[in-house]
Structure 1
Amino acid sequence: MNNTFRAIKFLFIILCAISSLTVSPSYSEQNERPNILLIITDDQSIDTINALGNKAIQTPNIDRLAHSGMAFTHVFNQGSWSGAVCAPSRQMINTGRNLHMTGFSPVSNKTTYPLMGETFRQSGYETFITGKWHVGDNALKRSFNIGRAVHEGGMAPIRKGGQWKPWLTDFGEKIKWAKKQKNQHTSEAFADAAISYIETKEKRNNNPFFMYVAFTAPHDPRQSPQSYVDKYPAESINLPPNFLPMPEIDAGDYNIRDEALMTFPRTEKQTKEFIGEYYAMIEHMDDQIGRILDSLEKSPYANNTYIIFTSDHGLAVGKHGLAGKQSVYDHSIRTPFIMVGNGIPENTRAKGMFYLNSIFATTAELAGIDTPESVQGPSVLPIIRGEKTVMNNYIYGSYRHFQRMARNHRYKLVYYPLLKRNVLFDLMNDPWEMHDISNAEGSASIIQELTAKLEELKVEVGDPLTNDDPVNSYQPFTGKVRPGFQKDKIGIKQTVFKEH
């Protein structure tokens, strides 16, 4: 009997030891609520990190995160009802809701749903933002106690100072709302603001913090110090396998601003220069991220802060004849996603198969905060705890009323509503999405399955588009059809591309 008791006691001790390795929402060495550092970049593709496979770019500090935590390979933006894809993406992140159900739309920049920063703030966290917001003034004021060097709008156009002389806003902690033009690169200004916040936090209060650090890099204008540009000369850049001079399908929106950044047809030289500037801006931003991480490591919060690194969406940068992110190809809808912190296995990889709107519930669970009932994206901690391998077996994607996508672990179906056309990719054998197999033997049943799943997913995300009348059914989100692409003229034509 004593031996049995000792065996049971020993087993109990082992189980307790194992459970201590799992993520606990309130774990820290001081048994305090953990801090959250969320780093969001702008337009950064999944394939722009050295540690995750791209040896042509140097990203030592994002690599630090990848080596220190879990990197997910298949995390998705659900798409966009706007050419400015970053706005709906950030709305999904900050409400935790699906694309067409955030409360935001082309006619409203306000929502009644609880916001992520607002929820942390109401739970006793000090909430801080620096960098790009793009979710509206009302939501900004609801979400954060303190803002330093906040870029309230979308991109940083050259006519308004570009990356080197941006207009940035400060507010909170005895500073009134004030916008000033700063004579400093955005990435450096945001890093300085984040570092200053970390260094002064302890003097201010003992509340846990939620930091929202959102770089405008590597969104154009692609301006970075010349020393970084010199590292990536055009002659050293290899074109991606799916580079094309022209898109193979005119989906209806290739006259948008992003696509006008390069001439049609794309040239190899121009595309290589484009990629080089993109890589230079990412490496410069990476160095600023390193400065923030160094400051955090020296602070009292080093052992009690969870870090999430991600981007709002990806970017084509020459792939498929495209420059921007207005598509459902993987280069545009997949994003890097890394989590670091207590209980998160180091230097591990996971598939994930979830959307960016899971950030809200995930950070809330880490902090031990009740997730609002309005949040639709689930926490991804079950993957970290080993309870699940993926969150979804099917993923939805869209771009305005021009494109729809449903994919599983192997196949991706892209449907063009205005063209009434299906394209099917075998992602296992064609990861660069170069070969349409929709007419291949055996593909009909796959298309049928994914078409049915797409209709289910449309309901799940609140997509109003109907296949028999895509333009009119999508009017609540699409507004007017762009000039030159009237309903009766849309087809496979690749001759007219106008800048807006």
Structure 2
Amino acid sequence: MNIGNLPNSPAAGVALSLSLACVAASQASAAPQQTRAAGSRPNVVVLLADDMRAGTIRALGHPEIITPNLDALAKSGVAFTRAYNMGGLTGAVCMPSRAMLMTGRNMFGLDGNGQTINKQHTMLGEVFARNGYSTHGIGKWHNGTESYNRSFASGAEILFGGMTYNQFEIPLAHYDKTGKYDKFEWARDRRQVCDHVYSNRHSAEIFADAAVDFIKSNEAASRPFFMYVAFTTPHDPRQVPQKYYAMYDGKNAAPLPKNFLPEHPFDNGHMTGRDERLLGWPRGKRAVRAEIRDYYATISHLDAQVGRIIEALKKSGQYENTIIVFSADNGLAVGQHGLLGKQSLYEHSIGIPMIWAGPGIAKNAKSEARCYLMDVYPTLCERLGFTIPSSVQTESFAKTLANPAQSHRGGMYFAFRQFQRAYSDGKYKLIEYNVKNTRNTQLFEITADPLEMENLAGKPEHAGLLKTMRDHLLAARPAGDEKMDFWKDFAF
């Protein structure tokens, strides 16, 4: 499917014109320089957003949002419109999702939900290093200090942990070759592993600066590189320069989602988690609109930092020989179904953006091939001719990069803590809940009802379909899940 022209945006005004003008200027100024010979092994840049929902890119059908750089990236490659995170067994969903990405293992094959990484599980960075690449990490790392140094031979501006409480005052660590990462006593958070704190510098800008510096330092390098940049946005706190909020003020204000609810209809097991307490109950329309405005503003700011990194690749002459992967750890509700966080198995919380661009990858295309975030690991291996380690449990979709019409996965399994399990065959999705010995069931036709507003589970005419989907759910259950509390005294 061709992406084609971008849709008209109600937010298109001075802010959008300036954003697009900046992109055009940066592209015009990006005069390529001579680097490693054309046809040599490509560099790889993986850019990971934090809490960015699928579809929150204008080129992918979201007319309210302003993302000129991600729009351009999507048109230069393949945008996967049905990419997912498998879920998590902790409220901090970003921890297992990142561990799955970096190990190629499903959530039930991780140690401690990914808080640390088993030394028998080969990290993605280790595979690149074994194949002669220099490896460099920047930004958020939620999977322990030991696994960081296994993954990267160098790094900069590392955030060890799940989140920051101020995007303009973020505790970071320099790369430590010894792997000790001795922390200092930072008054605001003594638990934080860090050795320096910037004041009045935004985290996304710090990470983009570090990426640009690394790209510049590799202009004349003889070895290809693997660079991983993990942002902490659009995760809250959603603090950005004022001009980004202004993009979504007044007549450009984003509307409430059609599946907005003041409260979730039943207890899903995580109703009072940290994310859900960011607003009171019932959710007020004005308050949710403010959350959406801040969310979109933070995405637009992130988009600008992605643009800076791509511009640096072009100026250094390395863009044409670099595979770029943009994705996110998980999605976010932001008012849909009465929820704010990502601790559910609705499409808004498990769905993630994913764009691939670079040599050997189709251009200006959308793919409806269904994939997990963890599939990125073996896909990169296959695309680059690396042997996939035996510890990897997931599947490559490398063939889809050249042929976006190529399908990948059939049925997909999802889980959240001991409370929720789901199965989707691409057309229908079943979600089962088991919370405090109370059962709830939802069945959606997600192709016709992508916002999951009509529950088919209680309708007699769908009884056969419900039984079939429940059979699929049980058959798809990964090894290790059968031991979880969700299944205790559970029968259909």
Shared topology, TM-score over 0.5? Answer: yes
Counterpart of 1:126 in structure 2 is 134
Q: Does 1:34 align with 2:42?
A: yes
Q: Residue 105 of structure 1 aligns to a residue in which SS?
A: helix
Q: Which amino acid aligns with 1:83?
A: G
Query: What displacement does 1:122 show?
Result: 2.2
Are the counterparts in 2 of residues 406 and 454 from structure 1 also a CA contact under 8 Å? yes
Identify the match of residue 171 of structure 2 among 167, 170, 174. Answer: 167
Q: Residue 47 of structure 2 aligns to a residue in which SS?
A: strand
Counterpart of 1:370 in structure 2 is 387
Identify the match of residue 281 of structure 1 among 282, 298, 316. Answer: 298
Q: Residue 173 of structure 2 aligns to a residue in which SS?
A: strand
CA distance in 2, matches of 1:146, 1:325: 31
CA distance in 1, matches of 2:40, 2:178: 27
Counterpart of 1:336 in structure 2 is 353
Q: Aligned pair in 2 of structure 1 residues 97, 175: CA closer, same or farther (>3 Å)?
A: closer
* 1:410-452 per-position Cα deviation (integer Å, ceiling 9, x unaligned): 1110101232222111113211101111122331121111111
Q: Which amino acid aligns with 1:71?
A: A
Q: Residue 383 of structure 1 aligns to a residue in which SS?
A: helix
Are the counterparts in 1 of residues 219 and 316 from structure 2 also a CA contact under 8 Å? no
Counterpart of 1:436 in structure 2 is 455
Q: Aligned pair in 2 of structure 1 residues 110, 386: CA closer, same or farther (>3 Å)?
A: same
Query: What displacement does 1:396 show?
Result: 0.9
Q: Which amino acid aligns with 1:216?
A: T
Are the counterparts in 2 of residues 80 and 398 from structure 1 also a CA contact under 8 Å? yes
Query: What displacement does 1:354 show?
Result: 1.2
CA distance in 1, matches of 2:106, 2:178: 36
Q: Which amino acid aligns with 1:327?
A: S
Are the counterparts in 2 of residues 234 and 273 from structure 1 also a CA contact under 8 Å? no
Counterpart of 1:3 in structure 2 is none
Identify the match of residue 99 of structure 2 among 91, 95, 99. Answer: 91
Query: What displacement does 1:198 show?
Result: 0.3
Residue range with higher mean Cα deviation, 95-104 or 282-291: 95-104
CA distance in 1, matches of 2:118, 2:479: 22
1:75-474 equivalences in 2 (<5 Å): 75-105=83-113, 110-157=118-165, 162-171=166-175, 179-183=195-199, 184-202=201-219, 205-233=221-249, 236-386=253-403, 389-418=406-435, 419-459=438-478, 462=481, 464-465=483-484, 468-469=487-488
Gaps of 5+ in 2: 1-35, 182-193
Q: TM-score, normalised by structure 1?
A: 0.84
Aligned pair count? 439
Q: Aligned pair in 2 of structure 1 residues 174, 297: CA closer, same or farther (>3 Å)?
A: farther
Query: What displacement does 1:173 show?
Result: 8.2
Are the counterparts in 2 of residues 328 and 405 from structure 1 also a CA contact under 8 Å? yes
CA distance in 2, matches of 1:106, 1:145: 21
CA distance in 2, matches of 1:326, 1:317: 12
Counterpart of 1:490 in structure 2 is none
Counterpart of 2:25 in structure 1 is none
Residue range with higher mean Cα deviation, 265-274 or 299-308: 299-308
Are the counterparts in 2 of residues 128 and 144 from structure 1 also a CA contact under 8 Å? yes
CA distance in 2, matches of 1:347, 1:106: 35
Q: Residue 349 of structure 1 aligns to a residue in which SS?
A: strand
CA distance in 2, matches of 1:312, 1:107: 15
Query: What displacement does 1:188 show?
Result: 0.3
Query: What displacement does 1:110 show?
Result: 4.4
Q: Aligned pair in 2 of structure 1 residues 32, 314: CA closer, same or farther (>3 Å)?
A: same
Identity of aligned residues (%): 38
1:13-28 equivalences in 2 (<5 Å): none
* 1:66-98 per-position Cα deviation (integer Å, ceiling 9, x unaligned): 100000111111100000000000010000011
CA distance in 2, matches of 1:424, 1:91: 29
Q: C-alpha root-mean-square deviation of aligned residues, in Å?
A: 2.1
CA distance in 2, matches of 1:175, 1:198: 24
Counterpart of 2:30 in structure 1 is none
Query: What displacement does 1:112 show?
Result: 2.5
Q: Residue 357 of structure 1 aligns to a residue in which SS?
A: helix
Q: Residue 215 of structure 1 aligns to a residue in which SS?
A: strand
Q: Aligned pair in 2 of structure 1 residues 233, 247: CA closer, same or farther (>3 Å)?
A: same
CA distance in 1, matches of 2:308, 2:231: 14
CA distance in 2, matches of 1:307, 1:460: 33
Are the counterparts in 1 of residues 418 and 486 from structure 2 also a CA contact under 8 Å? no
Q: Does 1:43 align with 2:62?
A: no
Residue range with higher mean Cα deviation, 172-181 or 395-404: 172-181
Are the counterparts in 2 of residues 104 and 111 from structure 1 also a CA contact under 8 Å? no
Q: TM-score, normalised by structure 2?
A: 0.85
Q: Aligned pair in 2 of structure 1 residues 74, 227: CA closer, same or farther (>3 Å)?
A: same
